[in-house]
Copies of this chain bind each other. A is one copy, B any other.
Amino acid sequence: MVSNRFDQQPPPVNIGEIARLAGVSRSTVSYALSGKRPISDRTRQRIQQVIEDRGFQPNASARALAHGRTRTLGLVFPTVSRRYTDMQLDFINSVVDAAAAHDHDILLSRSDGEGDDSFRRLVGERRVDGALLMEIRAPDSRVEPLVRSGFPFVSMGHTADTATLSWVDLDFAELTAACVRHLGRLGHRHLALVGRPRELYDAGYVPALRGRTGFLRATSELGLTGEVHHCGDDADSGQAVVARLLDRDPRTTAVVTLNEAALVGLYRGLGLAGRSVPGDFSVTGVAAARWAEAVTPMMTGADVPSDLMGRLAVDLLLERLDAPAAAPRQHLLTPPLTPRASTGPAPDRN
Please tell me if the beta carbons of A108 and B109 are within 8 angstroms of each other in the complex. Answer: no
Per-residue CB contact flags for chain A residues 121-151 toward chain B (1 = under 8 Å, else 0) read 1101111000000000000000000010110
Q: A5-B164, A107-B105, A126-B60 are in contact. Are A83 and B89 (CB under 8 A)?
A: yes
Residue picked from A106, A122, A147, most chain B C-beta under 10 Å: A106
In the complex, whether A49 has a CB less than 8 A from a CB of chain B is no
Quick one: which of B83, B106, B120 contacts A107, CB cutoff 8 A? B106
In the complex, whether A39 has a CB less than 8 A from a CB of chain B is no
A84, chain B: closest CB distance, angstroms: 5
Residues of B within 8 A of A121 (CB): 60, 71, 103, 105
A346, chain B: closest CB distance, angstroms: 27
In A1-26, the 8 Å CB interface with B consists of 1-10, 12
A89, chain B: closest CB distance, angstroms: 5
In the complex, whether A240 has a CB less than 8 A from a CB of chain B is no
Per-residue CB contact flags for chain A residues 149-162 toward chain B (1 = under 8 Å, else 0) read 11010000000000
Per-residue CB contact flags for chain A residues 68-103 toward chain B (1 = under 8 Å, else 0) read 001110010000000110100110110011001001
Distance, CA A236 to CA B290, complexed state (A): 10
Quick one: which of B108, B235, B290, B294 contacts A96, CB cutoff 8 A? B108
Distance, CA A9 to CA B126, complexed state (A): 13
Distance, CA A10 to CA B328, complexed state (A): 19
Quick one: which of B6, B9, B125, B294 contacts A235, CB cutoff 8 A? B294
Residues of B within 8 A of A65 (CB): 59, 61-62, 65
Distance, CA A326 to CA B268, complexed state (A): 53
Residues of B within 8 A of A328 (CB): 4, 6
Distance, CA A234 to CA B324, complexed state (A): 43
Q: A100-B117, A117-B100 are in contact. Are A127 and B4 (CB under 8 A)?
A: no
In the complex, whether A249 has a CB less than 8 A from a CB of chain B is no
In the complex, whether A110 has a CB less than 8 A from a CB of chain B is yes
Please tell me if the beta carbons of A294 and B264 are within 8 angstroms of each other in the complex. Answer: yes
Distance, CA A327 to CA B326, complexed state (A): 54
A131, chain B: closest CB distance, angstroms: 13
In A231-275, the 8 Å CB interface with B consists of 234-236, 264-265, 268
Known contacts A60-B126, A100-B109, A236-B294, then 8 further A-B pairs from the complex at CB < 8 Å, ordered by chain A residue: A2-B326, A4-B327, A5-B164, A57-B125, A75-B108, A92-B108, A108-B108, A264-B264
The 10 lowest CB-CB distance pairs between A and B, nearest first, are A57-B124, A61-B64, A60-B125, A2-B327, A61-B65, A235-B294, A9-B150, A60-B127, A106-B108, A1-B325
Residues of A within 8 A of B (CB): 1-10, 12, 55, 57-65, 70-72, 75, 83-84, 86, 89-90, 92-93, 96-97, 100, 103, 105-110, 117-118, 120-122, 124-127, 147, 149-150, 152, 164, 234-236, 264-265, 268, 290, 293-294, 296, 320, 324-328
